[in-house]
Structure 1
């Protein structure tokens, strides 16, 4: 591997406390010869001092913009609006390849600067399986919040916690009414996490996966009290719920958590809402009579920042240790160029081949 300089940036989203690389794995990178610069960040679950102690360089928040051109900038969520021209290779979840709002503007910035997006969602093996993902914890937290909301115990604003504290909250109180739950996408990472959280809460969920969604039985879906969607569609499929379904007088569904949060995408399997919820206002009332509450938070794992970061970092570490222009990272570059062509964006002078 050629000498790699990674730059772990501060996250501009105030509720983002996760990190793609934890200090323990940062040590492995440094020992392997990687130069790792870590920006100061008051909100990151691991303080900069822990990175400095394992041999990382420390830099000011946001200073990645002036890093050397061959630096690879590493993050998780969206970039700030400036600079207008992105000159580096950036590794993060870009959400720009499925016609999401702002996608074209973002890819134009890369084209203008000659940089590239290596989207973590598309870091996959030869069979197309994701190599690093937060899915399990997203599912776990999505189901946990749905349980707490359904039981009238969800407190806003949300604050980060630990798994032990969350699991204690999930325990049913004596005499608390039972309810039914459905997990769609039950066999994937997110679905497995959702089912475990529901079991922790004393609820054995109905599991739906490919077979059940191929010929969707909406009346059965609507007969469940709580539904957790963990399906991320990659090709067009009929929506799981439509506006008219919410008005069905037989609807028992009261609490819906969309873990996937694919709002704005034409592939969205729940096109019944047009904006996400957040930590300040985690629940949105979609219907009043009978009530239907929606939870659609797009950074759920940040509510368990230590556990989710540790898991993700352990999966990403081997890929960073073998960072090269071919293999999984090469596929990321190919997907970036394909997405740019699909949006008729003239490719910039990409100078990192």
Structure 2
């Protein structure tokens, strides 16, 4: 019999999310008769221990006797249990320096490490993510920032609300002037951001109308990569070429920067691709953007004003494009206000956990506990039997400290 454990999150700052909610844990037990499931006690989860007990889930002090362990964030150094299968966001596949020791601990302890970020369908699409809630909270934080900067309205922060339904009760307080809002990206994150703007009654317009027309109401547009990246030498845009060779393109975003008041950045950015805009462009008189909700939070990436991540408790700062320096928030009308919280789904942990767990049950567990014809689990496994798997052999020099 396989035994699954739901891990108590140990990373600081505290993360209240969970991979499997109490009701979902009960569903899993009913669906897989040859499975045992327990939950490690925790005083920080958005769902209490009592919530799990009421679903007949056994609460335990330790998960040492479990075969498979589900967490959310990185397991703190020294806490990985040898010879187990772990699921969590390891933040190692981009060779992040701060998690090199964690990868080596997984190797040294013979841990089978499976990263949620690497779980993909046969055509390469991610099958489990918190992206929708990153977009929802990121857009909401952008609107909150706009109200604060211009002293127009006061709404509760998302993390002060019980859940998404409670957060939506704040929408009636939002009174936006005639502004233009741009959302970059077309995936889960961007769709989450669009949910908020549509919920606020903001009208969506095409990119062409957005640039060329004036409106007597607040509007937004959603920009895909073809809208703000153009091929060199006047060629036709090819999505396949852009993803395979982004270095062959240049940014065409400035046309939107000249008429945008609030930018909500939700697009994945490849470091080989053009930046959205440069710091020099941000100093030009016709650069209009005053608030940026950088949901993607690529530090010093495609958006030059994102010089650091912010926190849920202290979500915004100002950026002076003329000097490239961070300034106190809302300190000067010439500054750009930046929201760059890097753990946005944590602000609505109950909803984010419910959606994530539903995808886990639908898309991952059947492959993990049954047949896996598309080798989804195999392709997502980073370490196994004390070695990097063939898909992640490129991490060897990183693990060895050579790069």
TM class, shorter-length = 0.7 to 0.9
Partner of 2:225: 210
Partner of 1:138: 134
Question: 1:330 is matched with which residue: 378, 390, 393?
Answer: 378
Contact 2:6 2:69 in 1 (8 A): yes
After TM superposition, the structure 1 = structure 2 runs for residues 89-168 of structure 1, keeping only pairs within 5 Å, are 89-152=85-148, 153=154, 158-168=159-169
User: After the TM superposition, which of the residue ranges 135-144 and 22-31 deviates more from structure 2?
Assistant: 22-31
User: After the TM superposition, which of the residue ranges 313-322 and 10-19 deviates more from structure 2?
Assistant: 10-19
Name the CA shift for 1:243/1:108 in 2 (closer, same or farther; >3 Å): farther
Partner of 2:29: 30
- Residue by residue over 1:197-220, the C-alpha shift from the partner in whole angstroms, topping out at 9 and shown as x without a partner, is 112223232110121143232322
User: CA separation in 2, counterparts of 1:35 and 1:71?
Assistant: 10
Partner of 1:244: 280
Partner of 1:188: 187
Partner of 2:53: 52
> Where do 4+ consecutive residues of structure 1 move more than 4 Å?
84-87, 154-158
User: CA separation in 1, counterparts of 2:41 and 2:125?
Assistant: 33
User: CA separation in 1, counterparts of 2:311 and 2:398?
Assistant: 32
Greater RCO, 1 or 2 (C-alpha within 8 Å, sep 6+): 1
Question: 1:278 is matched with which residue: 298, 311, 320?
Answer: 311
Name the CA shift for 1:313/1:113 in 2 (closer, same or farther; >3 Å): same
- Residue by residue over 1:77-102, the C-alpha shift from the partner in whole angstroms, topping out at 9 and shown as x without a partner, is 12213248864322111121113231
1:261 equivalent to 2:260? Answer: no
Question: 1:72 is matched with which residue: 68, 73, 82?
Answer: 68
Secondary structure of 1:241's aligned partner: coil
Q: What TM-score, normalized by structure 2, do the two folds share?
A: 0.75
Q: What TM-score, normalized by structure 1, do the two folds share?
A: 0.85
1:219 equivalent to 2:254? Answer: yes
Question: 2:395 is matched with which residue: 342, 348, 351?
Answer: 342
Shift of 1:269: 3.0
Secondary structure of 2:319's aligned partner: strand
1:6 equivalent to 2:4? Answer: yes
Name the CA shift for 1:93/1:263 in 2 (closer, same or farther; >3 Å): farther
User: CA separation in 2, counterparts of 1:321 and 1:49?
Assistant: 28
Contact 1:10 1:75 in 2 (8 A): yes
The aligned length equals 335
Q: What do you get for the CA RMSD once the two structures are aligned? A: 2.7
Partner of 1:178: 178
Shift of 1:271: 5.0
User: CA separation in 1, counterparts of 2:57 and 2:112?
Assistant: 24
Secondary structure of 1:317's aligned partner: helix
Contact 1:8 1:37 in 2 (8 A): yes
Secondary structure of 2:169's aligned partner: helix
User: CA separation in 2, counterparts of 1:123 and 1:133?
Assistant: 9
Gaps of 5+ in 1: 348-353
